[in-house]
Amino acid sequence: MPHSPQDSIAPHLAGIALEHTNDGIMITDADNHIIYVNRAFAEVTGYTPEEAIGNTPRLLNSGHHGAAFYQGMWRALREQGHWRGEIWDRRKNGDIYPERLSITAVPDAEGGIECYVAVFTDIQALHRAEEKLQRITHFDALTELPNRAQLSERLHQLVEAARRDNQLLGVMLLDLDGFKNLNDRYGHALGDRVLVAIAQRLKQVARGSDVVARLGGDEFALVLRGLPHMDEVERVADRILALAGAPCEIDGQRYELTASLGITLFPFDGADPDTLLRHADQAMYQAKEGGRNRYHLFDAEQDQQAQTRRQLLDRLAMALNHDELELHYQPKVNLRTGQVVGMEALLRWRHPEQGLLLPGTFLPHVEHHDLIVEIGEWVVRRALLQIGAWEREGLVISVSVNVAARQLLREDFVECMRRCLDDFPDVPPGRLELEILESAALENTRHVRGVIETCWGEGVSFALDDFGTGYASLSYLRDIPAETLKIDQSFVRDVLEDSDDLTLVEGIIGLATAFRRTVVAEGVETPEQGVLLMRLGCDIAQGYGIARPMPAAAIPAWIADYRPDPQWALWADTHWEMSDFPLLVAQYDHIKWVRRILFYMDGGTLQLSPGELCDHRQCRFGHWYYGHGWRRYGRLQEFIDLEPIHVAVHRIGPDIVELRKAGQLEQARERVRELLALKDQILEKLAALQRSVAGKSVEPDFAQIGLF
Ligand code: C2E
Ligand code: MG
Ligand code: MG
């Protein structure tokens, strides 16, 4: 092989290179005795070449690595001819230091080992820098507690471990109460010392892998694992508050602070680590709001509801912009004249996936949000638009619109109404009625009165909706001058069965008449309810018994086809004396008494006192018969005829109860049939009595009322 000039100077240069490189170099023979070290070796290890040569590398052994580590190294050298890795060695002065080491086995001509060449770099400085960086990025400089970044990392691990071991993990957020005041008053240096003291105390709570971290300012986090049960959580929370709340003694001065603690518990709160912290934070704010110096446990269910509400809110706002909302209209009719007197506009949401939604499914979730105000304005505008459209078709219809409390109570409500009306100059404002909830009007009667009176100036009228549900007092009717009262449908529903509801409805109608208000009954489902309402003096009704709410397009045809129930025409020209009202009540009292016997037959409890059951003078019907009824109708034959039947009823009733008790069901049923026949006779006699009192000659089928 030809020799180049480089070949001849190479050994010399190699020697220079070995001596001047910054890496330590050590060469050992096949028996692993050191035969060469360079200058950098001496600098790093502290051993001179004389001291090193002849020794084995065990000279540098730090004891840091076990036998397995060295076995792995030798295996790699044997099998691959080299090894590379990080290793801790010991300097001559005893210091242990990390180095990055690379060893190569140099083969000889016979396939054995000529020598081993080890090249290493001292990376202690690098390690120190890394550690420092680690400290800076993961620990809080003031308290030396883990910081937010470190907490987040640890929390991920702890959540994983808690999930695996099926353990309770408490994630807690602590914020000092009034720390800012202390800082402002005594200066930041003192504030810092207080923080350090509190950090020290909080550390006492932590065991094993628990974490106490400082998130910044006066905010600390604790992640505690292995909490056995809720009692323990409470105990720990109390302890943390006591630790944080104990006075701090600094330079002979005492400083007292308290803390608010928010807690969430994994896995009850199954959120991801970041969300757990957020939940603990939320709970901490609730502890603050609850009066500080306390802890608050995060309620996952409550939070879920809040979240669902937020989502619904967003979705509903979108629905408003995407034209998914619409109004349906439910007619109101005059029972006596058969006239259609107006429509109530009722909101619907045509949801692309869920179909047509009723307001009860979405409005209650937004009633405390400004979105309801926006929706309310949309409803008014849409109703005005519709009134105008009907008007152009030749239909003159008034429309009432529901107004939410939040909308009504706003300062700018009247202005908003004015703007709406101005935008529909062809709609007479008199066609618009606003329905306000009794409960909303009660919240601020003075404001509402002002709104009503100002809107009157514009021509708009008002109704009090759901009347009877809002605990209104008499004086309140004086304060809220709405022209119309709408009797809540819950009273109308049972008016035929429940004499208390009947009395309530009668009372509302009486009140409305006394205050010269119009009264509208909601929720009229049967013709009989209509008859009763009319006789009580309420002529205007709305309900499924007349029509269900329908899209605007269906209204003209409905009006054209509408025929009032024939039963109503029968009573149209009679007027019932209110002093005869107890007679009506007596009828429903008797029906109710019989129902209670039937309920007992069916295995229910007996809702009658012994007196009410056995004594024909002590049931509610009996009270009427021998009291008001006797005085008012005592001479009328229909009234006299009632007594023997009623007495018989009170013989049979107790019999049925006894037979049922004795388990003689067949006989009991037989007696029930007799009782029902007597009930029909009583209702017939009562109807006859009512007819003769009202001076009616026609014969409506009164026994049909309150069917069983
Ligand atoms: P409301 O103002 O008392 O309206 C009457 C409700 O009773 C309507 O329910 C109507 O469909 C229902 N209803 C009518 N007749 C009968 C009947 O014979 N039987 C029964 N069981 N129910 C009957 P809807 O449309 O579901 O509305 C419920 C409530 O939602 C309304 O009660 C009203 O308070 C509110 N609401 C409806 N639309 C709006 C709106 O545009 N704005 C506001 N703020 N609230 C609205
Ligand atoms: Mg209404
Ligand atoms: Mg209502």
Is residue 7, in this structure, part of any structural domain at all?
no
Which tokens sit at 597?
């016997």
For residue 5, pLDDT beyond 70: no
Average pLDDT over every residue of 544-568: 95
Nearest ligand 1 atom to alpha carbon 358: 26
Nearest CA to ligand 1 atom 21: 523
> Is residue 361 in contact with ligand 1, taking CB distance under 6 Å?
no
Nearest ligand 1 atom to alpha carbon 401: 41
Backbone angles phi, psi at 423, to 5 degrees: -75, -10
User: Given this model, what pLDDT does residue 585 score?
Assistant: 84
Nearest ligand 1 atom to alpha carbon 544: 18
Q: How many Å from the N-terminal Cα to the C-terminal Cα in the chain?
A: 123
User: Given this model, what pLDDT does residue 266 score?
Assistant: 92
- Is 434 in the same domain as 509? yes
Domain CATH code at residue 197: 3.30.70.270
Q: Which residue has the tokens 């979108």?
A: 318
Is residue 408, in this structure, part of any structural domain at all?
yes
- Is 276 in the same domain as 332? no
Among the three residues 72, 87, 122, which one is the final residue of a domain in this structure? 122
Is residue 466, in this structure, part of any structural domain at all?
yes
Instruction: Write out the DSSP string of 398-420.
Output: -EEEEE-HHHHTSTTHHHHHHHH
Ligand 1: residue of 522, 533, 544, 565 to mutate (most ligand atoms within 8 A of CB) is 522
User: Given this model, what pLDDT does residue 473 score?
Assistant: 64
Question: Which pLDDT band holds residue 471 (cuts at 50, 70, 90)?
Answer: low
Average pLDDT over every residue of 108-122: 92
Question: Which pLDDT band holds residue 4 (cuts at 50, 70, 90)?
Answer: low
Question: Which pLDDT band holds residue 349 (cuts at 50, 70, 90)?
Answer: very high
Is residue 92, in this structure, part of any structural domain at all?
yes
Nearest CA to ligand 1 atom 34: 402
**What are the distances in angstroms from CA 291 to CA 261, 520, 592?**
11, 48, 52
Question: Which pLDDT band holds residue 707 (cuts at 50, 70, 90)?
Answer: very low
- Is 67 in the same domain as 156? no
Nearest CA to ligand 1 atom 37: 346
User: Given this model, what pLDDT does residue 421 score?
Assistant: 96
Is residue 281, in this structure, part of any structural domain at all?
yes
- Is 470 in the same domain as 441? yes
> Is residue 434 in contact with ligand 1, taking CB distance under 6 Å?
no
> Is residue 544 in contact with ligand 1, taking CB distance under 6 Å?
yes
Query: What average pLDDT does the chain have?
Result: 90
For residue 414, pLDDT beyond 70: yes
Among the ranges given (65-79, 252-266, 320-334, 487-501), the one the predictor scored with the smallest mean pLDDT? 487-501
Question: Which pLDDT band holds residue 187 (cuts at 50, 70, 90)?
Answer: very high
User: Given this model, what pLDDT does residue 705 score?
Assistant: 41
- Is 185 in the same domain as 298? yes
Residue 447 structural domain: 308-572
What SS3 class is residue 353?
Answer: coil
Question: Which pLDDT band holds residue 232 (cuts at 50, 70, 90)?
Answer: confident
Residues contacting residue 525 through CB under 8 Å, at least 6 positions apart: 493, 543, 544, 545
Is residue 5, in this structure, part of any structural domain at all?
no
- Is 468 in the same domain as 331? yes
**What are the distances in angstroms from CA 112 to CA 75, 109, 117?**
15, 7, 15
Percent of the chain with pLDDT over 70: 96
User: Given this model, what pLDDT does residue 573 score?
Assistant: 75
Among the three residues 518, 544, 572, which one is the final residue of a domain in this structure? 572
The alpha carbons of the chain give a radius of gyration, in whole angstroms, of 45
- Is 98 in the same domain as 212? no
For residue 63, pLDDT beyond 60: yes
Among the ranges given (101-115, 317-331, 579-593), the one the predictor scored with the smallest mean pLDDT? 579-593
Nearest ligand 1 atom to alpha carbon 466: 3
> Is residue 468 in contact with ligand 1, taking CB distance under 6 Å?
no
Among the ranges 223-232, 300-309, 419-428, 567-576, which has the highest mean pLDDT value?
A: 419-428
Pairing of strands 34-37, 24-29: antiparallel
User: Given this model, what pLDDT does residue 615 score?
Assistant: 95
Is residue 395, in this structure, part of any structural domain at all?
yes
Which tokens sit at 362?
């979405």
Q: pLDDT tens, 191-210?
A: 999 999 999 999 999 988 89
- Is 445 in the same domain as 558? yes
Among the three residues 302, 329, 359, which one is the final residue of a domain in this structure? 302
Q: Which residue has the tokens 């080491």?
A: 101
486 CA to middle of ligand 2, Å?
8
- Is 493 in the same domain as 603? no
pTM: 0.63
User: Given this model, what pLDDT does residue 696 score?
Assistant: 52
Among the ranges 325-329, 480-484, 590-594, which has the highest mean pLDDT value?
A: 325-329
- Is 385 in the same domain as 298? no
Q: Give me the residues paired with residue 345 across strands.
A: 329, 401
Q: pLDDT tens, 491-509?
A: 999 888 788 888 889 888 9
User: Given this model, what pLDDT does residue 494 score?
Assistant: 86
Domain CATH code at residue 313: 3.20.20.450
388 CA to middle of ligand 2, Å?
21
Average pLDDT over every residue of 426-449: 89
- Is 587 in the same domain as 452? no
Domain CATH code at residue 35: 3.30.450.20
Cα angle value 506/704/619 (rounded, 5°): 60
- Is 39 in the same domain as 100? yes
Q: pLDDT tens, 251-306?
A: 999 999 999 999 999 998 888 999 999 999 999 999 999 999 999 999 888 778 87
Is residue 8, in this structure, part of any structural domain at all?
no
> Is residue 28 in contact with ligand 1, taking CB distance under 6 Å?
no
Nearest ligand 1 atom to alpha carbon 403: 44
Q: pLDDT tens, 598-627?
A: 999 999 999 999 999 999 999 999 999 999
- Total number of domains in the chain: 4
Q: pLDDT tens, 630-670?
A: 999 999 999 999 999 999 999 999 999 999 999 999 999 99
